[in-house]
Amino acid sequence: MFCTIAHHKMPAHIIYEDSSTIAFLDINPYSYGHTLVIPKIHTLNILTATDETLGHVMHTVKLVSNHYINDCGYDGITVLSACNEVANQSIPHLHIHIVPRKNDDSLSALSDVFSQTHSYDLNEGEQILTMRP
Ligand SMILES: [Zn+2]
């Protein structure tokens, strides 16, 4: 499923893209701007990825996260990646969640962040959050 997004065979609300990664809005968001970063090359998760792929993915996580904090009014981010089914990995393609946080978002415990979905207009989110060169 994420391979199809990586190869532009399925539409997504894309925030950032480079030659080896793509960042797009999660369709079941935990917060406004909840973003997934994936490598374009297929690998199951962090445990199976090469160091090179992990480097590319984390570079994009850092870039997008700093953009959200410096340009979009967020105060911090929560990062999560589930590895294997026992850890609730639902899509078998490496993806790292960026959950943008605000001081007043009332998600006090980490468990709050991953237990509440937050619906919002993803087209609007894409317009606001996209990284422009
Ligand atoms: Zn894949």
Domains and their CATH numbers in the chain: 2-124 (3.30.428.10)
Distance 130 CA to ligand 1 centre (A): 23
Our CA dihedral for 67, 21, 14, 46, rounded to 10 degrees, sits at -90
Tell me the helices (H) and strands (E) count for the chain, helix number first. 4, 5
pLDDT (tens, 9 = 90+) of the chain, 133 residues, equals 899 999 999 999 999 999 999 999 999 999 999 999 999 999 999 999 999 999 999 999 999 999 999 999 999 999 999 999 999 999 999 999 999 999 988 877 777 887 888 899 999 999 999 997 6
Distance 86 CA to ligand 1 centre (A): 19
Q: Is 37 exposed, middle or buried (0-12, 13-18, 19+ CB in 10 A)?
A: buried
Q: Is the dihedral of CA 89, 114, 61, 20 positive or negative?
A: positive
Distance 106 CA to ligand 1 centre (A): 34
